[in-house]
Structure 1
Amino acid sequence: MKKRSLGLIAIVSYKTFVASLLLITSITLFLALKNYQYLEDFSDNYVLEGKAKIIDWIVAKILNLNPKKLAFSGVATGIYAIVTAIEAAGLWYEKRWAHILVLVLVGISIPPEIYELIQGLSIVKLIVFLVNIGVFWYLFQNFPKHHHH
């Protein structure tokens, strides 16, 4: 069995974690869509008034998305989860195409992340930005050599 670098293991673990979060988000969006009417009724329930602010906030956020947006978001998040899982698997097996895919996708995400940081700094935005810079730098520095068989 080939020994993988700590950097590669960290990136694959990160990508697997992100894919899992995206999958959970996608499933949650579809469950919200399936139960949209129930959520609307729940939101209108007077018992909820001021009792559980976080639940009220989450339900309000979901209800601000119309069912079409909810469905689109669920599909888009699901596709992104699949692409992220494919990236992780490709990197694990040290496939050249996976390195290129991740470099391109992370590379194109960096300018919007810089813009987001300029608009308003938050610890989450900063961590995501720094992780993506680290992933990009590591994969760029450790780009697999092309082997002819």
Structure 2
Amino acid sequence: MTKPVSVVEARHVFGLRLIAVYKAIKVVCLIFVAFVAFGLHKPENFDHLMHTLEHLSLQDSSGMRWRLVGLLQKWGPSKFIAVGIAALAYAAIFATEGTGLWLRKHWAEWFTVIATGSLIPVEAYEMFHKFNWLKLGALIGNIAIVIYLVRIAMQPHGRKL
């Protein structure tokens, strides 16, 4: 006979699943970044990207496109292997967090608190260094995730969510 789930437990399950889905979205995006980065390692693909960026007929009043072109030329195609590996490493961490949270594992709550919390100072620095609303949203979201998971993780371990 199964015990009925309380409203609080149901909310915690929903919260954990919501964070797990957020982590899964990040995993998919990072795998895409890695796929693109590994493709840009090939000089012909890199050269094609550079040619495309240089000949786009877009209004670029901020000069962002040319800064990107300059950065890519400075890096060259050889740096993209490192970018792809880093993206896959972060994807593995996020996949571990998300899977553990989806399965309601207590270790995943603390793992996510540590992994997410460790990046908050970097995100705060980046947001204050060059402010934009996306960075602010990410910072607030990650702080909320850490606070929420600490509250849940501090509850007795014997709980069955």
Q: How many angstroms does 1:112 deviate by?
A: 1.1
Asked if 2 retains the 8 angstrom alpha-carbon contact of 1:30 and 1:74, the reply is yes
Asked if 2 retains the 8 angstrom alpha-carbon contact of 1:39 and 1:63, the reply is no
Structure 1 moving runs of 4+ over 6 Å? none
Q: How many angstroms does 1:69 deviate by?
A: 1.7
- Counterpart of 1:91, as a letter, is L
Asked if 1 retains the 8 angstrom alpha-carbon contact of 2:39 and 2:45, the reply is no
What TM-score, normalized to structure 1?
0.80
- 1:38 & 1:9 partners in 2: Cα distance? 38
Q: Which runs of 5+ in 2 are unaligned?
A: none
- Counterpart of 1:51, as a letter, is S
**Counterpart selection for 1:123 from 110, 133, 136:** 133
Partner of 2:47: 40
Q: Which runs of 5+ in 1 are unaligned?
A: none
Within a 5 Å distance, the mapping from 1:81-120 to structure 2 comes to 81-120=91-130
- 1:113 & 1:106 partners in 2: Cα distance? 10
Asked if 2 retains the 8 angstrom alpha-carbon contact of 1:29 and 1:70, the reply is yes
- 1:49 & 1:9 partners in 2: Cα distance? 44
Q: How many angstroms does 1:68 deviate by?
A: 3.1
Partner of 2:156: 145
- Pick which of 5-14 and 22-31 moved more: 5-14
- Counterpart of 1:77, as a letter, is A
Deviations 1:70-95 (A, max 9, x none): 11110110111121111100111111
Partner of 2:55: 49
Does 1:17 find its partner at 2:25?
Answer: yes
Q: How many angstroms does 1:109 deviate by?
A: 0.7
- Counterpart of 2:126, as a letter, is E
- 1:138 & 1:17 partners in 2: Cα distance? 19
Task: Evaluate the alpha carbon distance shift between residue 75 and residue 51 of structure 1 in structure 2; reply closer, same or farther with a 3 A threshold.
Answer: same
- 1:82 & 1:129 partners in 2: Cα distance? 21
- Counterpart of 1:89, as a letter, is T
Asked if 1 retains the 8 angstrom alpha-carbon contact of 2:24 and 2:95, the reply is yes
- Counterpart of 1:145, as a letter, is P
Q: Identity, % of aligned pairs?
A: 25
What TM-score, normalized to structure 2?
0.75
Root-mean-square deviation (Å): 2.8
Q: Secondary structure at the match of 1:86?
A: helix
